[in-house]
Amino acid sequence: MTSPAELPRAGYDLASVQRDPLSLDQRDDLPELVPTLPPTAFVQIARGLRDEDRLDLVLPHASPEQLTALLDLDGWSRDRLAVEKARGWLVAIVDAYAMTGKRRGHLRNVIEDMDPEMWTMALLPGTAVYELDPDDVELREQALAAVDALFPYETPDGGFIVAVPDNELGHMAIHVLERIYADDLQLGRDVTLSLREPCRPSSRKICCAGAAVASPTSGSSTGRRR
């Protein structure tokens, strides 16, 4: 397998990869090559591979810096978070780790080394979180009744019910949470808690995170925080 120091001799040419991202399919050194790509070039290459449904060539090998650049450069519309695009990239990232057989904990390490706030911001709009007491059956039933008009997801640790609009954008948020929980229960709990934090809810109150945001089906976006 080619080492990074040998890339020029192996015919590595950044401009040619940017023009034809599928050329990466011909290489056997992707775990070494991909992390060496400049972040802006990585984003361009990832966009091209997304159109070809071949993100498996880069996402499993990308560095946290590259993935952060992907969200920063392709998850915003001017100064506003483009929720659908950002969630689309989160889905692609978590699926890449799941589909390539990464051992548990790898996704946790990547998320922690990225900008965790970006994950929260992308999952937040339209999401409602209800904290449960595992020993209080009545509280669980009250929570499910309270989110009856939404699509509910009960977290594997039994600590929360997360509810989202019953549409593609809402299901994307749940899919990301499911993948995170499958990788690391504590990280799943931390991310879910972060979706409640902006509302500072009192005990046994539903936190309708991002409730002021327009319906996700209408191309939701939320202001970027600095």
Distance in angstroms (rounded) separating the CA atoms of residues 30 and 27? 7
What's the mean pLDDT in 106-123?
Answer: 91
What is the signed CA dihedral for 201, 225, 91, 27, rounded to 10 degrees?
Answer: -150
> What tens digit of pLDDT does each residue of 174-221 get?
999 999 999 999 999 999 999 985 443 333 333 333 332 222 333 444
pLDDT beyond 50 at 119: yes
pTM of the model as a whole: 0.79
* Nearest by Cα to 55 from 150, 211, 66, 226: 66
The per-residue pLDDT for range 190-203, each reduced to its tens digit, is 999 999 854 433 33
Could you read off the pLDDT of 56-81 as tens digits, one per residue?
999 999 999 999 999 999 998 888 99
Measure the CA–CA gap between 187 and 189, rounded to whole angstroms.
5
185, with CB counted inside 10 A (0-12, 13-18, 19+), is: middle
- Compute the mean pLDDT over every residue in the chain, rounded to the nearest whole number: 83
